[in-house]
């Protein structure tokens, strides 16, 4: 019996370790995007309409199962909004295919307010009411190499 309890505890500890590596909220450390660093993605966000609220950047593995799925993001960075252009540095574990989603929570309430909040995605796909603002992973995925990959995202508002 003690052996089964020990095995269960070891499995639970491993599961907790694996889940801690995904879904990490991290600070915006632009030093990670220095010329000799990486792998990382430098995200340049253009067209932020106001300095009110918060901007959130989330990275995802470029898979259909993970893309925009609740709790499946790899890293999240949040910062106070600044009108115009903002830059973020998102580390990635290794070279590979990723996708980025950006949200401007204009009033900072933590809810999606369609009439005022803005959003954007890597590769700047067109967004329509037909896909409910959620483009397919194939339209937003990009390859991040072992160095620093730059991705520009244009914010869109209703």
Q: Domain locations in the chain?
A: 23-157
Q: 55 with 102: CB under 8 angstroms?
A: yes
Q: 125 with 151: CB under 8 angstroms?
A: no
pLDDT truncated to tens, each residue of the chain (158 aa)? 333 223 222 222 323 333 334 589 999 999 999 988 999 999 999 999 999 999 999 999 999 999 999 999 999 999 999 999 999 999 999 999 999 999 999 999 998 888 899 999 999 998 765 556 689 999 999 999 999 999 999 999 98
Long-range contacts of 122-129 (CB under 8 A, 24+ apart): 122/98, 122/151, 122/153, 123/151, 124/152, 124/153, 124/154, 127/156
């Amino acid at each position: 019996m003690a052996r089964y309890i020990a095995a269960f505890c070891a499995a639970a500890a491993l599961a907790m370790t694996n889940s801690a590596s995904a879904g990490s909220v991290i600070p915006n450390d632009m030093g990670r995007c220095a010329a000799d660093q990486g792998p990382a993605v430098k995200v340049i966000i253009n067209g932020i309409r106001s300095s009110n609220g918060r901007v959130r950047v989330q990275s995802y593995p470029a898979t259909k199962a993970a893309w925009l799925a609740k709790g499946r993001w790899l890293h999240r960075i949040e910062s106070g909004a600044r009108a115009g252009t903002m830059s973020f540095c998102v580390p990635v574990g290794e070279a590979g295919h990723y996708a980025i989603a950006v949200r401007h929570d204009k009033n900072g309430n933590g809810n999606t307010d369609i009439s005022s909040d803005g959003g954007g995605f890597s590769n700047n796909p067109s967004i329509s009411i037909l896909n409910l603002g959620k483009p397919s992973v194939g339209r937003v995925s990009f390859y991040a190499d072992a160095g620093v990959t730059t991705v520009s995202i244009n914010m869109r508002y209703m």
